[in-house]
Structure 1
Amino acid sequence: MSAKLTKAEQTLRTRRAILDRARQLFATKGYAATGTEEIINGLGITRGALYHQFHDKLGVFKAVVAEAYGEMTDYIHNQVETIEDPWEQLIVGCQAFLEIAQQGDLRRLVYIEAPAVLAAETLVEFDQYGFGLLYESIQTVVNEGKLNTIDAQGFAHLLNGSLNELAAWVAQSNDPQRLKTAQILVETLLIRHQR
C-alpha cells in the first residue's frame, strides 16, 4: 500500500505533469497552436490547477523554456568536462551550443518558438547563466594569454551574439552541413583572435 502524498508532493507532481505535457505539445505543435485545455487533457487536473501553478499559458511556456536552457547548459558542460585545456574547452563548448540547434525539441523550443513568443529581455534573462559561463571561459583564455582582445567582456558579448545568430541559422535547416559550416565559422572567429 502506498503512502498518501502530501499537499506539497501533489503540487510538485501536478507541476511536473503540466510541464511534461506542455513541452511535448509546444515542441510538436508550437506555442500558438497549443491551448490550455489541450495541455491539461488527460492529466486529471483542472484549468484552475494550471492557472494556480503558472498563471497562464505564457507562464507554462516560460517554465518549459527555462528548463530547456538548463538542459542546454548541461549538454555543453557534458561535452567539455573531460577537456583540460581551456582553449579547447572554449571551442568545443561553442560547437556544442551550435549542435543543440539541430536537436529535437530543444531546437523548436529555444530557437523557433521562444524568439517568436518571449520578450527579448526574458531570453536574455534565461541566457544569463550560459553567458556567465562563456564569459568566464573567455576570461580564462585571456588570462592565460591565449586570446587576443581589447576587452574580455566585450568579446564575450560578440561571441555570444554570433553563437545565437548562427544557432538560429542552423535551426532553420536539418542539413548537417549547415551545422558543420557554423561550427567552422565560430572556430575560425576564435582562431583569428588566438595568440
Structure 2
Amino acid sequence: MPAKLTKAEQTRRTRRAILDRARYLFATKGYAATGTEEIISELGITRGALYHQFNDKLGVFKAVVEEAYGEITAHIRTRIEPLETNWEQLVVGCQAFLEVAQQEDLRRLVFIEAPAVLAADTLVEIDQYGFGLLQESIQMAVDEGQLQVIDGEGFAHVVNGALNELAAWVAQSESPQRLKTAQQLVEALLIRHRK
C-alpha cells in the first residue's frame, strides 16, 4: 500500500497541476478565453482549491508568467555561460532573450498575453531579476571602458525597452528572418555605443 501523501505534498501537487494546466490553456487559448472551470475540470479539483492556492484567475496567470520568466532567465544563462567576456555575454544574452519570443510554449504567454493582462508595474516586478542581470552586465561594460553611455542604468533601461519591443515584434511572426533582424538590431544598438 503506497504511503499517504502529507498535506504539504498534496498542496504542492495540486498547485503544480493547476499551473501546468493553466499554462497550457493560457498559451494556446489566451487569458480571456480561459475560464477557471476549464482549468480545474480535468484536474478533479474544486474551484475552492484553485482559489485557496491563487485567489483568482489573475493570480494563476501571474504565477504562470513568473515561472515562464524563470525559464527565460535559465535559457539566457545556458547561452552565455560558455562565453568568456562580459561583452560577448551581453550581446548573446540579449539575442537569447529574443530567441524565446519564437519558442511556441512561451511566445503567446509572455510576449502577447502578459503585457495585455498584467499591469506594467507587475511585469517590471516579475522581470526584476532578468533586468538586474542586464543592468549588471551593462554597468560592467561601462566600468571596463567598453561602453560609452551617458548613464549605465539609464542605458540598461533603453536596451531593456528595445528588447521588449523587439521581442513583441518577433513573437508576432514565425519568420526566422524576423528573429535574425531583431538580433542584429540589438547588437547594432550595443555596438553603436561601444568604445
User: Normalising by structure 1, what TM-score?
Assistant: 0.98
CA distance in 1, matches of 2:187, 2:32: 36
- Cα distance, 1:84 vs. partner? 1.1
- Cα distance, 1:92 vs. partner? 0.2
CA distance in 1, matches of 2:168, 2:43: 33
- 1:37 paired with 2:30, answer no
* Length, aligned pairs only: 195
Q: Deviations over 1:45-74 (max 9, x none)?
A: 111100110111111001000100111000
SS in 1 for 2:30: coil
- Structure 2 residue aligned with 1:152: 152
Amino acid at match of 2:44: G
Amino acid at match of 2:7: K
SS in 2 for 1:52: helix
- Structure 2 residue aligned with 1:85: 85
- Structure 2 residue aligned with 1:171: 171
Amino acid at match of 1:113: E
Q: Deviations over 1:63-101 (max 9, x none)?
A: 000100111000001100111111000000000000111
CA distance in 1, matches of 2:3, 2:139: 51
- Structure 2 residue aligned with 1:51: 51
CA distance in 2, matches of 1:48, 1:81: 43
User: Normalising by structure 2, what TM-score?
Assistant: 0.98
Runs of 4+ that moved beyond 3 A = none
- Structure 2 residue aligned with 1:133: 133
CA distance in 2, matches of 1:42, 1:129: 34
SS in 2 for 1:102: coil
SS in 2 for 1:146: coil
Q: Percent identity?
A: 78
Correspondence list, 1:87-126, <5 A: 87-126=87-126
CA distance in 2, matches of 1:70, 1:142: 27
RMSD in angstroms over aligned alpha carbons?
Answer: 0.7
SS in 1 for 2:145: coil
